[in-house]
Structure 1
């Protein structure tokens, strides 16, 4: 917290200070463009002044409808420099969903990637009022880059205060209407980021998932840590592997389903990935069998990060714990991070002993401030300084945390509970299975039935009954899926998580009575 002798400085100011030391080095790469530290720093200050000139002030909301561009990061930094709340829309949400969020967060300015201009028009027809600022020439709104070019690049002192809301980050909407998770400027401290060890080159991060999700935070840490961020517009395995080789990438963040696609692609066997020092994965449950495959493919570079937007970082499973011969360890989410407290509690809020399953509750300085304009929901989740994550898990005798399932994903069947991640682990252990997603679907009698969507390896002759036999033999009849659907690929959210909401809706349509 700031004091009388040391004024509060935002993560943006401290990050820009770090960039000032070597203004000529490349810090952002996008296609053929290379942006230096000095150019990026100047752009942020010019943008911030342009926003102020448009009457946008501290405490108002700036919403981004932007892809993975250098200007996207600069726009976020500029809005935060003047103390605004920033909301970054997931690009693949429907126009109605995006408009609802734009309205809900009281958007003052909508900053738009020119590639999403038609969608911006759709949104503003539904929600008139926001100042539309485009990252380039456009037929509607104003060109923010042109406005910024008219402003001074002199450093601007940050206007935010520690308790101001810095970000409103919405959930992906896979389980209902997205919730706005509010984090303050005091909580958004500069990420430590990747650094170079003795004899190592500066870190080079490849961003191939949306900057609206965790990739944005990893980019911040890399910029602050003296590294370079290479931006791809989306995840495509062949393009990612080519970029790793071409740009000598050292650091990468992927959600597990995307990691599986990367290692399963034929190019992974021929592309040079030897420069990789760290592949961080997280954001949804991973499969121990598939993570073991990734270790064998890429080497001892995997790191699992477990956290939530509501809670911040919770635990880490480091490289040293990624042993393909220890599936029990790979199933865990690692050791609880310094400064974070974790308790496993039952439905009455009582602490449970080591090894027993219960809800993972977290206390740390990184807990969200609140859900935007939802005080009752906030009170349900934040109780006496503890955040109730909605995840089921346990701590073992060595202090490793294992996440078993989401409370809302656990399937209640006759005879007990089916933990979806346990069933997914089993299905993924079959050598002819690449990925799976397990979810519950209610039948006409409102009973939940276990459904599984399974992606098979190319050339597989496996049939659904073979997988049912495997489950029945290994887990018993209670875990045996009522329906197994063999598919070419799992639908994913913008962030890269299996979209179980969509899978459930598809199953309900397919199997509902006529």
Structure 2
């Protein structure tokens, strides 16, 4: 809220203010393109006017189907400036899922980049949207489904446009990754988004590398970087060699990776020949990580690792700071860090009882950043939001020092004869073997519909550890209940569009030869 006028200023307006302070500084880098802060600010205002001219109004849903381009960031800010609810699709989902999402959230405007031109044309045929706009002409097999927004914006004024958003308007509609079923639409307001990202001081000279999709956590880091007067370097996608080269070339200070991508970075042959001394904060999160591999990462990159635990529904929950990434204290590397300021965490039993420190239960969260609810799904919202507490679906515990440990997702927890198998705990055991790079554990039903523990293991180059040896390791460490019924070996784990192990795909592969689990 502006102290003088009383006008609510959204996060978009705050970012535009920051861009206007030093219009000549470098703000966005993409390939050979280097855009100044003034260039980005002008483009946002021009795009906002072009969208308004085409009929886009406050409260409508604008969906982006676009990669890591400067124009993607500008279009997102332009729609936000008009007070629209912005949804950013994961490009790797099927056309059916894309179409379902567009219908679910009543998309009025679809904005696609040139690489997604044909998909945008297909969606326009399948879903009734008011308008389709492209972020550049591009080429495709289908006719262009709509005009070029960049070209339309070039004809508009770059003068400052007052923001139309109100505090309780829906700002973002973010979807779960769809790895366990149909994606759910999670709503966050403009009021919540103002303080959602990490805070960095203007003096830090932040240079953030975005090498995962802007539709996920990297987009929030980009916002925080531009707000802090920093520079965002955009890569089209994750490639370990390209990331290492960019860190050295662009003197990157901050980046975000999911654990499987961090492992790829560590395993790349160029890692020890690359100057990564500019890194100050390598944030990771989004799925379970291996303590052994984290310790190796600290030894390679230094005290820069920062684990972030949160959910789209809950916002940030806890952090494991660089100071807590101590290879000599592996018990800390197994945790998700300490509860963040302003966040309340309760561990609850199935009957709702608040459990004491050390006992396993469902992690429940209360904070200003908890979602407003799922888009037009009141019954589903009521299941997870009860009495102001968000039920995360994560199973874990909080120790006496306030560190959270996550042992499983409720949906991933495997119910076996004799108890429960927590997949993260079993993955930690498998990953501790010196010839195991990575593993994924999942439950696969047998012919009698009883769940059996199934593991998929990626061995180190030249590793020859077999199923019998790994089973013996598990029996020794965790007991017979945790022993996998089957261990399969793979060259790599398939990943979802945001970089998490795709357990839905692995489960379907494992279940295909019925009765073999």
Normalised by the length of structure 2, the TM-score is: 0.97
Equivalent residue runs for 1:259-408 within 5 Å: 259-408=262-411
Contact preservation (8 Å) 2:357, 2:400? yes
Q: Distance in 1 between matches of 2:273 and 2:61?
A: 46
Give 3-state SS (helix, strand or coil) of 1:233's partner: coil
Offset at residue 129 of structure 1 (A): 2.9
Q: Distance in 2 between matches of 1:241 and 1:196?
A: 26
Query: 1:487 maps to what in 2?
Result: 490
Contact preservation (8 Å) 2:110, 2:129? no
Deviations 1:78-110 (A, max 9, x none): 000000011100000000100110111111111
Query: 2:30 maps to what in 1?
Result: 30
Deviations 1:105-157 (A, max 9, x none): 11111101101101111211211334110001253310001111111101111
Q: Distance in 2 between matches of 1:61 and 1:512?
A: 46
Query: 1:113 maps to what in 2?
Result: 113
Task: Label 1:418 to 1:123 Cα distance change in 2 as closer, same or farther (>3 A).
Answer: same
Q: Distance in 1 between matches of 2:39 and 2:513?
A: 54
Task: Label 1:30 to 1:152 Cα distance change in 2 as closer, same or farther (>3 A).
Answer: same
Task: Label 1:41 to 1:397 Cα distance change in 2 as closer, same or farther (>3 A).
Answer: same
Say which is worse superposed, 277-286 or 463-472, in terms of deviation: 463-472
Task: Label 1:130 to 1:443 Cα distance change in 2 as closer, same or farther (>3 A).
Answer: farther
Deviations 1:341-381 (A, max 9, x none): 01111111110111111111100110100100110000010
Q: Distance in 2 between matches of 1:510 and 1:14?
A: 55
Aligned length: 511
Instruction: Report the aligned-residue RMSD.
Output: 1.4
Q: Distance in 2 between matches of 1:196 and 1:271?
A: 28
Q: Distance in 2 between matches of 1:344 and 1:157?
A: 44
Q: Distance in 1 between matches of 2:64 and 2:476?
A: 50
Deviations 1:170-191 (A, max 9, x none): 0000000000000001000153
Offset at residue 512 of structure 1 (A): 4.3
Query: 1:141 maps to what in 2?
Result: 146
In the alignment, structure 1 residue 60 sits paired with structure 2 residue 63: no
Deviations 1:393-452 (A, max 9, x none): 111111111111111110000111100000001111111111111000111101000011
In the alignment, structure 1 residue 501 sits paired with structure 2 residue 504: yes
Offset at residue 7 of structure 1 (A): 1.2
Equivalent residue runs for 1:134-173 within 5 Å: 134-137=134-137, 139-173=144-178
Q: Distance in 1 between matches of 2:488 and 2:260?
A: 17
Query: 2:470 maps to what in 1?
Result: 467
Offset at residue 206 of structure 1 (A): 0.6
Offset at residue 31 of structure 1 (A): 0.5
Give 3-state SS (helix, strand or coil) of 1:158's partner: coil
Contact preservation (8 Å) 2:198, 2:221? no
Task: Label 1:489 to 1:298 Cα distance change in 2 as closer, same or farther (>3 A).
Answer: same
Say which is worse superposed, 457-466 or 105-114, in terms of deviation: 457-466
> For structure 1, which runs of at least 5 residues remain unmatched after alignment?
none
Give 3-state SS (helix, strand or coil) of 1:97's partner: helix
Q: Distance in 2 between matches of 1:310 and 1:215?
A: 17
> For structure 2, which runs of at least 5 residues remain unmatched after alignment?
139-143
Contact preservation (8 Å) 2:447, 2:514? no
Query: 2:127 maps to what in 1?
Result: 127
Query: 1:254 maps to what in 2?
Result: 257
Q: Distance in 2 between matches of 1:512 and 1:210?
A: 38
Query: 2:426 maps to what in 1?
Result: 423
Equivalent residue runs for 1:70-109 within 5 Å: 70-109=70-109
Give 3-state SS (helix, strand or coil) of 1:485's partner: strand
Deviations 1:324-345 (A, max 9, x none): 1111111111111111101111
Say which is worse superposed, 207-216 or 182-191, in terms of deviation: 182-191
Give 3-state SS (helix, strand or coil) of 1:210's partner: coil
Query: 1:45 maps to what in 2?
Result: 45
